[in-house]
């Protein structure tokens, strides 16, 4: 299992640079989001993403809620390595939890909310995101939005940030 975690984490890091380049070849106006090793206080989402596009990621420990209101692709979203699964608060959402699990939501419209630590995410598309880290520390992970330089996750949740553009 540890080997799988190392492979997944290495893959996410390797995808961080190409994610920006991929946006150039995607639909006009698509943006990118990369989160590396994110962590937030208990009960606060590290990533709360509404996106029309694709997302892959890894959660070291925690849970994820994915809402897929237009399930066009029966193979997505997909979560592997989870320890618990239940239906979410809406008819179109599910919640997965555990240690060292991965997920992907490709080619659709999704709301994805991730709680926990060691959170890695790569996303390409259009939408909005709220990000949070730990207060009073710079050791809470980093993020890059729309190809900008990496910054420390903020100690309090951001206002909604725009992923991509309408252009």
User: For residue range 150-166, what is the model confidence (pLDDT) as tens digits?
Assistant: 999 999 999 999 999 86
**Model pTM greater than 0.85?**
no
Q: Determine the 3-state secondary structure of 71 from DSSP.
A: coil
- How far is Cα of residue 124 from the mean position of the Cα atoms in its chain? 10
Burial bucket for residue 83 (CB in 10 Å: 0-12, 13-18, 19+) = exposed
Model confidence pLDDT, tens digit, residues 79-104 = 999 999 999 888 889 999 999 999 99
Q: Look up tokens 């709301």; give the residue.
A: 111
Neighbours of 59 (CB within 10 A): 29
Bond before 120 cis per omega within 30 degrees: no
Domain that holds residue 32: 2-163
Return the pLDDT at 88. Answer: 86
Number of domains in the chain: 1
Q: Is the pLDDT of residue 9 over 60?
A: no
């Amino acid at each position: 299992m540890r080997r799988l975690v190392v492979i997944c984490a290495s893959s996410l890091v390797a995808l961080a640079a190409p994610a920006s380049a991929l946006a150039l070849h995607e639909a006009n106006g698509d943006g990118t989001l990369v989160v590396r090793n994110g962590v937030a206080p208990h009960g606060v989402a590290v990533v709360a993403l509404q996106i029309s596009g694709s997302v892959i990621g890894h959660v070291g420990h925690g849970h994820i809620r994915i809402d897929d209101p237009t399930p066009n692709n029966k193979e997505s979203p997909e979560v592997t390595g989870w320890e618990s699964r239940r239906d979410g608060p809406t008819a179109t959402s599910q919640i997965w939890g555990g240690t060292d699990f991965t997920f992907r939501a490709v080619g659709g419209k999704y709301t994805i909310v991730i709680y926990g630590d060691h959170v890695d995410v790569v996303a390409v598309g259009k939408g909005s995101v709220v990000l949070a880290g730990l207060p009073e520390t710079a050791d809470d992970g980093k993020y890059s939005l729309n190809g900008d330089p990496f910054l420390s996750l903020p100690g309090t949740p951001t206002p909604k940030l725009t992923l991509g553009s309408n252009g």
